[in-house]
Amino acid sequence: MRTARNPSNERQFSSTEWLTKTQIQGFFSRLAASRRKEKGLLGMSVEKEEDVACLVEDTERQELLEEITDQVGLKHPITFDVYDLCEYYHQSKLSAFNVQMLKSILSHLEVPFKSKDKKGILLSKLSVVIAACTCDATLYK
């Protein structure tokens, strides 16, 4: 939340919208308690509850990882922050990013550039990287 930015490199969330560590911990604590209640784990011994919870959690995590791998592998191989760069590329919208954001993206992707490079050069370097992606362009039309 603290580092998320929009295409013009402005913060997406103000400091008043940031969640505290306690708020996040409380959310996950309530979520875990509701899951235990749904799965009927309340009333078991602590050891048995932990064993069952671990098995369920491992299974859910494995299923989630497989689902994410399938989705990411086919639809969104190149992303930065909250942006699907392949989508921006295929819709010819990479120019919506300002120079500072383009430099951040290229740094994240470990693409070398010069500090004095202008927007056109940065866009061409980013386009070369994204053009090499194996994603299906028809997904973005």
In order of 20, 34, 53, 91, the CA distances from 141 in angstroms are 39, 40, 43, 7
Smallest Cα–Cα separation from 7: which of 126, 134, 135?
Answer: 126
pLDDT at 90 over 80: yes
Do residues 93 and 129 share a domain?
Answer: yes
| pLDDT (tens digit per residue) in 14-42 | 888 888 888 888 888 888 877 777 766 55
Structure tokens at 61: 């995590």
Buried b / exposed e along 53-62 (16+ C-beta atoms within 10 A): beeeeeeeee
Total domains, the chain: 3
Do residues 109 and 59 share a domain?
Answer: no
Residue pair 129/111 in contact (Cβ under 8 Å)? The answer is yes
Do residues 136 and 87 share a domain?
Answer: yes
Residue 78 confidence class, pLDDT cut points 50, 70, 90: confident
Do residues 50 and 34 share a domain?
Answer: no
Do residues 25 and 70 share a domain?
Answer: no
Determine the 3-state secondary structure of 43 from DSSP: coil
Domain housing 122: 79-140
